Amino acid sequence: MSVTANSVWNNCLAFIKDNIQPQAFKTWFEPIKPVKLSEKALSIQVPSKFFYEWLEEHYVKLLKVALTKELGEQAKLVYIIKMENTYGNKEPFTER
Backbone phi, then psi, for 35, in 5-degree steps? Answer: -110, -55
* Residue 90 neighbours by CB distance under 10 Å: 4
> How does pLDDT run across 36-95, given as a tens digit for each residue?
999 899 999 999 999 999 999 999 999 999 999 999 999 999 999 987 655 555 554 445
What CATH homologous superfamily does 5-81 map to? DnaA, N-terminal domain (3.30.300.180)
Q: Domain residues of the chain, as ranges?
A: 5-81
Model's pTM, two decimal places?
0.81
